[in-house]
Amino acid sequence: KFEDMSTKIAGIYVGGEASCISIHGANRLGGNSLADAVVTGHLAGIGATNYAKDASFGKGAKTHELAQKWQARFKEITNNGGNGQ
């Protein structure tokens, strides 16, 4: 779908010329491929982010829960004088 650049495979998003969607029509100039990649890449990034927010990976942990765990661990390490313990 062009709205989020999702594919038929859940969790897979595509951008740029690989998306087979041209925002410039049949007569695309070579330099316009950059705009195509920027627009579709941006949409794919948003789509993938939205998918990952609610997706479960591994043993049922949600992505944001895992991120919070690792952020806490990172703060613990960096606030400990850098000794990593």
With 70 as the cut, is the pLDDT of residue 67 above it? yes
More confident residue, 17 or 5: 5
Task: Report the pLDDT averaged over residues 72-83.
Answer: 79
Task: Report the pLDDT averaged over residues 28-50.
Answer: 83
Q: What is the pLDDT of residues 4-14, one digit of tens each?
A: 888 888 888 88
CA distance 32 to 21: 13
CA distance 70 to 36: 35
Task: Report the pLDDT averaged over residues 54-74.
Answer: 78
What percentage of residues in the chain have a pLDDT greater than 70?
Answer: 75
Of 41, 52, 56, nearest in space to 4 by CA: 41
Can you tell me whether residue 29 is helix, strand or coil?
A: coil
DSSP, res 7: -
- The 10 Å CB-count burial string (b at 16+, else e) for 46-74 is ebbeebeeeeeeeeeeeeeeeeeeeeeee
| Domain limits, the chain | 1-54, 56-85
CA distance 11 to 3: 14
With 70 as the cut, is the pLDDT of residue 43 above it? yes
